[in-house]
Amino acid sequence: MQTFVSKLREVTAVYKTVNDLNNIKISCSKDVADFVRRIYPVDINIREAMVVLYLNNSNRTIGYSINSIGGITGTLVDVRLILRDALLTQATGLILIHNHPSGSLQPSTPDLTITTKVKESAKIMDVNLIDHLILTEESHYSFADEGKL
C-alpha cells in the first residue's frame, strides 16, 4: 500500500508600497484616468489590459492590481482574482479600468457583461463597484458617468 503526501500551500499576501501613489483621493472619473495612466502596464494603443483600483471607505487608493494583459482585441478578466485582491486589501470599493487599442470609447458586449458580473459578485462581499473606465490615448469613458452601473 502506497502513502501519498499532499503538499498544502500556505496563502500569503505581499504588499508593495509605491510611495507617491498611496492614499490618493478619487473624486471623479478624470481622477481615475489620470491616476491609472501613471501605472498602466502596457502601451494603451497596442495591447489591452485590465487594471483594478482598490479604494477605502473614503475613496482613497489603497492598492491596485494588474488583473490581466491580453492582445490587440481583448483580455481575459478573472472575477475571482479581483475579489481576492479586494478582500486582501480590505477594500470597500473598486474600479475596473481597461483600454481599447482601437481608440473606440464604446463599451463592447463583453465589457458590459464583465461589469455586471463583477458588480453582482462584489456586492455579495459588501464591496462596491464604483466605476469601470475604458481608456484610449486621448480620452476615457466612465460607466458611472454614463449611467451604465
- Ranges of each domain in the chain: 31-142
Looking at the structure, give the CATH architecture of the domain made up of residues 31-142. 3-Layer(aba) Sandwich (3.40)
Other beta carbons within 10 angstroms of residue 30's beta carbon come to 13
Which residues make beta-bridge pairs with 128?
A: 93
Whether 76 contacts 103, CB under 8 Å: no
Q: In terms of C-beta density within 10 A (0-12 exposed, 13-18 middle, 19 or more buried), how is residue 69 classed? A: middle
pLDDT digits (tens, 9 = 90+) for 122-146: 999 999 999 999 999 999 999 999 9
Q: State pTM to two decimals.
A: 0.88
For β-strands 93-99 and 49-55, DSSP reports them as antiparallel
Spatial distance between the Cα atoms of 95 and 42, rounded to a whole number of angstroms: 18
Helix axis angle for 109-124 and 79-89, nearest 10°, is: 40
Mean pLDDT to the nearest integer, 12-19: 67
Q: Which residue has the cell 463592447?
A: 108
pLDDT digits (tens, 9 = 90+) for 46-105: 999 999 999 999 999 999 999 999 999 999 999 999 999 999 999 999 999 999 999 999
Residue type, 23: N
